[in-house]
Chain A
């Protein structure tokens, strides 16, 4: 259980860093940088996660680089999902309207200022739903690390099955995965509400969390000034 969470969170943090770096790199003007980023993205998207893990865990030691299983797991998950999420980052940045870029040119903001202060905050709100998907996917993807000797949730399920019975063990496992996934979804939804509120759309997170009757005025206000 703890191993599964560690892998998910560690993998997710690494993945988001990799996604942002590769996603930004895949849209720069310099063809060398762009080509490199695209190659990395395509390589890690295009090869099996299990094989990547085996490579990290069983092949690298032959070249003298022996990494702990946990590091291999986080690295494998982070690279694999980071490559997928890089496309989300790139797509979301491209989805920010051209007028926003033009306004930054008209105000003489530098490229870094433009990306950091104007474009990325807007793209962030766009990427969260897709990133949530990958996060949930990764949580369940962690099951394959039992192949590289880590005792994760699925591994313990097997042990439980031997001690009890099949229905009970897999039933418990389903519930645990679901509860964790649901908690992660709620957290990400919270992030999305906050990000959208910062763009002036929808209510602040605090209000969204408070229990109340369905609010129809928010939708009406949102459609006002197009």
Chain B
């Protein structure tokens, strides 16, 4: 875990090369009176694969949504590659950054959702090339070539012209993964990507994600209930409860000899089999 010394006022330019991919600094998120995250501090180094586990309502998904700027923190700072994401400290005050500045950072982050969220008014191919063409300014030919490569790699080369709703859930999620990768993100957020899938097709999606983890150096922040997947892919696991990190360890340690009793109880419930709370998220 490299410790960074860049101050919270770090300007957008000249962020140190050693800056962590993601850094949460005293982050607080509340919805009205409901405090979801409190005094949250953690870092994710470049190329790290970090899995967040914990009972439902522990704030895991909120963390991903904060990084994707789908939600904005109500306190503290989030830094991406050393650059403040939505808020920065300026003149002693916490101020929101301009939409333009936020967009520049957002472009480097991709997200795959539990519900896929493909655009139903477009074909599979159009879904994938939409942002590369209209956000990154790639030519249609270039984006299409890359999209076909990605479709090939997720095993759906002949579905380019299909409409999302004509595909199974597993196929839709594979397209969604290809769509996120088409933007060449430095950071990929995976939000319970298999939770909406039938058990028998969870494997095909996880296999693709494993391969991406093996063949790229994309930083990944993962929320999942698939403990085997977490163990295979991630190099660090954070256990959350009540909006705080209660334990942090490598997967081997976390899944074999968890120290905190909350972790033990949670893992017992999840890994204990069908009688546990797996289905209650």
Contact = CB atoms under 8 A, between A and B. Distances in A.
B163 A103 contact: no
A204 B167 CA distance: 18
A200 B119 CA distance: 10
Nearest to B132: A107
Interface string A179-206: 0000000000000000000111100000
A118 B106 contact: no
Nearest to A113: B134
Contacts of B106: 105, 108
Interface residues of B, number: 31
A109 B70 contact: no
Interface in B164-191: 164-169, 172, 179-180, 183
A225 interface: yes
B117 A102 contact: yes
A198 B164 CA distance: 11
Interface string B47-70: 000000000000000000000111
Range of interface residues on A (Cβ < 8 Å)? 20 to 34
A108 B119 contact: no
Contact of A225 (B109, B111, B168): B168
A100 B172 contact: no
Interface in A196-226: 198-201, 221-222, 224-225
Given A117-B130, A199-B165, A200-B165, A106 B110 contact: yes
A33 to B, nearest CB: 17
Nearest to B169: A225
Contact of B118 (A103, A109, A221, A222): A103
A109 B135 contact: yes
Given A99-B113, A102-B70, A102-B113, A199 B131 contact: no
A121 interface: yes
Given A100-B117, A122-B121, A199-B121, A107 B169 contact: no
Interface in A81-133: 97, 99-100, 102-103, 105-110, 113, 117-118, 121-122
Contacts of A113: 134-135
Given A122-B120, A201-B165, A105 B134 contact: no
Contacts of B183: 107-108
A8 to B, nearest CB: 29
Given A99-B115, A102-B113, A225-B172, A108 B121 contact: no
A111 to B, nearest CB: 9
Contacts of A225: 165-169, 172
Contacts of A222: 165
Interface in A41-68: none
A109 B131 CA distance: 7
A180 B82 CA distance: 65
Contacts of A122: 119-121
A113 B134 CA distance: 8
Nearest to B68: A106
Contact of B68 (A97, A99, A105, A198): A105
B90 interface: no
A28 to B, nearest CB: 14
A204 to B, nearest CB: 11
A221 B165 CA distance: 10
Interface of A: 97, 99-100, 102-103, 105-110, 113, 117-118, 121-122, 198-201, 221-222, 224-225
13 contacts: A97-B117, A102-B113, A103-B118, A109-B134, A110-B135, A122-B119, A122-B121, A199-B165, A200-B164, A221-B166, A222-B165, A224-B168, A225-B165
Given A103-B118, A118-B121, 5 more contacts: A105-B106, A107-B130, A200-B163, A224-B168, A225-B172
